[in-house]
Structure formats: structure tokens, C-alpha cells
Structure 1
Amino acid sequence: MKVLKGYVRNKARPEGCIAACYLADECVDFSNKYFKQSVEVVNSQQRNEEYQNDVILEGRSISSETSVELFDDVLENAHRYVLFNTSEIELDSSVEGYSELLKWLANGPRKNAMSYTGYVINGKRFHTKSVEKSTQNNGVAVDATTLCRSSVKDKSQVMDVVAYYGVLQEIILLDYYVYQLPIFKCDWANVRNGVKVEEGFTLVNLHQSQSKFVREPFILASQAKQVFYTRENDTSNWYVVLKAPPRGFHDLEMYDENYDDTLVSNENISNAVEDVDESDELTYAKTRL
């Protein structure tokens, strides 16, 4: 009763004073309990932030996992691409011995792997094409060095950087026993006649035959750059390539302005770049940057 009497400020309206003060105390008590469970603003985690993981080398999954068994040819192509694009296998005469990662890479991955429909890497959120979402996150681009020639009549071949555009079909987490490495399986547009530049915009044809990349559909998840496709018109097979920062991305220092130039570079790519013949000797000449 002493506490309730202390609430009375207006003796003409004691009931109202007690009710108002009691309600204020309850609000303060509830707020204190709420803030104890909250995260401080300075320590809040970004939506596309990666978590430290000693097993998964890059990124983190954002979907449920599905166990899959890879066919021998798929496993061989995926493992070969990992070896050709991992700095650990580069020879360095000044370094004695080898790293623990190199040891397990040489051992090869298991046939059983994990498949996901969503993944966060390099501050970007990717989803496979099979995921029906209002936000499009399955567009992928990668810069690769490849053997090419300026025309069909040109017999000399040179190494050049070419931008490849595709759609993410599957996210696979290769299991190297101790380490796990994410790779993206994509459908790639044909750079010979499926990519062109018109009025400063890069256009890709995502409906052309993509049999050329059947044996090499993979890239490392860390190599993927996110792009968005918007259809030229309702009847066209061509899509305009757009590059935009992820939702909530405001750190200008992390923004790669040079990458925007890549999307509109190679203005003569539709008629000036001709890939070499797809012989076994040159199938894996292409290396992503």
C-alpha cells in the first residue's frame, strides 16, 4: 500500500494517479527485459555477412542442405576446376613443404556432397534459378582468361580476358574430408554469338544452345559476381545485363567501380572474339580470374 500511496500526486483523483504510475512502471520493466535480449547497434550483424568457419572455406549457406551423390564425370570436372583455380597448387620454390589444404586437395573430394539453393559469398546473396522469389539473385558473371582469336580466318591464338554471363543452377559444397569448398554450377551464355553490346548496354541470349559448357559449368563461389537480367522486350530472347550492389549495401569503399566498366566492355565481343576449337587439349585452357 505504501508504494501505491506514493503514486498519488493529485488527491482529488487518486485512482487515476495510481493507474497511470503503475502502467508507467510496467512499461519500464518490460523495456528493460526487451533491451537485455537485443543486440547493440554497433555490433549488429549485416544480412549478407559471412561467419568465420574453419571447415567451410568460403561463404555460408542460407538454405537447408540436400545430400547429393556426384557422378564420376561431374566430380572429375569439378575437382579439376578447383585445382586449376586454387592458389595453393601454384609452385613456389621459396616455400618448403606444403600446406594442410594442399594435402586434402590432392586427395580429392568425396562423391557425396551437399547441395543448397541459397548462399552468401563476398557480401552478396545468391539463389539458384529453381527458387521462385520476387528478387532475382541467380544472375552470375565472371571474368576469365581464355584462348581466343580475332576472327575465323585468324590462325594465331592469344590469351585475353573475356566476361562470361550465366544463370546459377546449383550450389554444391565439395567435401574434401577436412575442408569444404563451395562451387557454383551455371548455365553460361555463348560468348561467340550470345553476347553483344548495343548503345552501351551489354545484352546476353540466355536461351541459346549451351552445350559448349557441358563439361565446364563450374566456377568457385568466390569468383562469382552478381548481375541482374532484364528482358529487352516480351518477345526477345535477349536480356540486358545490370550490375547493382546488394540490398543494404552502402559502403562506397567496397564498391568496385571498375566492374561496371567490365559489363559494357568488349564492345566487339559479338564478332571479334572467336573461341578455339573444343579439343581435349584446350578444353581447360580457360581460367577464371
Structure 2
Amino acid sequence: MVEDNCADKSYPNWLQSLAHGPMVKVTSWPIYFSRGYIFHTHDYGKERKTANYGVCVKGTVSSGLSDEPDFYGIIRDIIELHYHGPVELKVVVFFCDWYDSTSGRGIRRNKSGIIDVNVTKRYGKYDPFILASQADQVCYVPYPRVTRKREQQWEAAIVIQPRGKVLVDGNLDFTAMQSENDSPIINVDSVEVETLTNLHGQVEDLDDVNVNDESGSDDEDGNSDIEVTDEDSE
């Protein structure tokens, strides 16, 4: 006889709240900060100098195809869902309009390797919601000096780096540069020089030059000791 012990199992409070579903009342925001990005809705940001309403989501491989394209779109609304329960669970989702993700018709890769998006083509299926944690930010930039109407439909999707994040090449060596020159002192043989030629072509005999150990260096630096007489002190 097999006993059912499901009634004895305990589940975390957040999972129970999630299973009960969200409240009917939600909160809508024009701005949301997530993962180093500042997202705006299209209506809020379309007249601003910075366009923070573009989003990109990595394509899933549910169909078994490893080369499924990414999805590009704009944020129409930022919705915060509230759930019943003691933990007061909240989930933020983006309501988005998606561009056509078909290669060659909705998106393409230009010669520089940048993704272009046809902003006149829309995604055919109704799938507007994504989690805020899924979204990467992009900025759609039109090409200047485009005369053909067909080319005016394409805009470059520039990927925005999150604030506070620095991209570092994994092959970089962070060893201090001066450590490469930390070689031991090498003793070299002395070289005897009898004459020197200055910039004017005049030859100077080194035998006539007096070299002093410490006083000579002080004289050159202008730090030689000065004897003060009684008259000077007065």
C-alpha cells in the first residue's frame, strides 16, 4: 500500500503566493531601474534626449533551433503585479510591441556586424509580456543621409551597456606593468672616454674637468652652502 504524503509537504510562502495568482489591481510605472538599466515607456521617453524604451530579449530554443534570432521591441507599459500572502510578492513585467524577427525581412546584420531592425514590420503573434529581468536595453538609431525610402525603414539597434558594468577581455593580463622591468642590477664594464664633442662641434678634453663627488652635484643644483658674514647678517 502506497501512502500519499503530499499533505505533509511544506512549500515556501512565495511559491504559495505565486500559485494563488496576482491581485486584480496593478501598478503602472513610466520608469523602472533593473540590472543597471534605466527603462522608460515609449510615451514617457519619446520626447526626451535619451531613448531608453528599446528592449531586446534573447530568443529561446523551444523549437529546437539553436540559431533562433533575438527579439527587438519597444516598451509600451511597465506593470508591477502584486500577489496575496505574507511575503507581499511583487513581479514587474514589460508590455512590449515587438518588431518582426524574420531574418532579411524584420532584422538583418550589416557589414559592420550591427543588427538593423525594420521598424515598419511587426511581430505577428500576440506575446507582449516579458519579465523585467529578461530585458536588455537597445537604442534604435536611424541612418543619416539615406535617400531611398526602402532604406529609411531600417534603423541600427545599438546595444546599451548597463551602468556600473565594465566589459573586460578575459585574455588581459592584470600583472603590474612595472614588474616586467624588475630585473636585477647588471654590472657592466666601465668605458674610458678621453674627449667629448658638444652640440657646437667643439671638442672638450675630459682631463681638464674636475669631478667632485658631492659638492659638484650640489653646485649644479644650486644648493651649495653659502657662507654668511657679519655684514650680511646685519
Pairwise TM-score range, normalised by the shorter structure: 0.5 to 0.7
Structure with higher RCO (Cα < 8 A, 6+ apart): 1
Q: Give the conservation status (yes or no) of the 8 Å contact 2:82–2:91.
A: yes
Q: 1:219 to 1:250 in 2, by over 3 A?
A: closer
**1:206 and 1:163 mapped to 2: Cα distance?**
15
- TM-score normalized by structure 2? 0.57
Of 88, 94, 98, 1:184 maps to 94
Work out whether 1:145 is the aligned partner of 2:145.
no
Cα deviation, residue 115, structure 1: 0.6
**2:11 and 2:67 mapped to 1: Cα distance?**
31
Q: 1:111 to 1:243 in 2, by over 3 A?
A: same
Structural mapping, 1:168-179, within 5 Å: 168-177=75-84, 178-179=88-89
Work out whether 1:242 is the aligned partner of 2:158.
yes
- More helix per residue: 1 or 2? 1
Shift >4 Å, 4+ stretches: none
Cα deviation, residue 190, structure 1: 1.2
Q: 1:184 to 1:240 in 2, by over 3 A?
A: same
Cα deviation, residue 206, structure 1: 2.0
Work out whether 1:223 is the aligned partner of 2:134.
yes
Q: Give the conservation status (yes or no) of the 8 Å contact 2:137–2:159.
A: yes
- TM-score normalized by structure 1? 0.47
Provide the residue aligned with 2:203 in structure 1.
none
**1:206 and 1:257 mapped to 2: Cα distance?**
33
Work out whether 1:97 is the aligned partner of 2:10.
yes
- What secondary structure is seen at the aligned counterpart in 2 of 1:103? helix
Q: Give the conservation status (yes or no) of the 8 Å contact 1:184–1:218.
A: yes
Cα deviation, residue 166, structure 1: 0.8
**1:144 and 1:244 mapped to 2: Cα distance?**
18
Which structure has the larger Rg?
Answer: 2
Give identity over the alignment, percent.
32
Q: 1:222 to 1:125 in 2, by over 3 A?
A: same
Q: Give the conservation status (yes or no) of the 8 Å contact 1:147–1:159.
A: no
Provide the residue aligned with 2:201 in structure 1.
none
Provide the residue aligned with 1:59 in structure 2.
none
**2:121 and 2:43 mapped to 1: Cα distance?**
19
Cα deviation, residue 158, structure 1: 3.6
Provide the residue aligned with 2:108 in structure 1.
196
Q: Deviations over 1:104-148 (max 9, x none)?
A: 111011121111110001111000000131111001011131445
- What secondary structure is seen at the aligned counterpart in 2 of 1:144? coil
Q: Give the conservation status (yes or no) of the 8 Å contact 1:118–1:127.
A: yes
Of 115, 122, 128, 2:35 maps to 122
Structural mapping, 1:43-58, within 5 Å: none
- What secondary structure is seen at the aligned counterpart in 2 of 1:227? strand
**1:232 and 1:251 mapped to 2: Cα distance?**
28
Q: Deviations over 1:62-110 (max 9, x none)?
A: xxxxxxxxxxxxxxxxxxxxxxxxxxxxxxxxxx632211101110111
> Partner amino acid for 1:172?
I
Provide the residue aligned with 1:107 in structure 2.
20
Provide the residue aligned with 1:164 in structure 2.
71
Cα deviation, residue 160, structure 1: 5.0
Listed as ranges, the gaps of 5+ residues in structure 1 are: 1-95, 149-156, 259-289
**How many residues get paired?**
149
Listed as ranges, the gaps of 5+ residues in structure 2 are: 1-8, 171-234
Q: 1:240 to 1:257 in 2, by over 3 A?
A: farther
Q: 1:159 to 1:102 in 2, by over 3 A?
A: farther
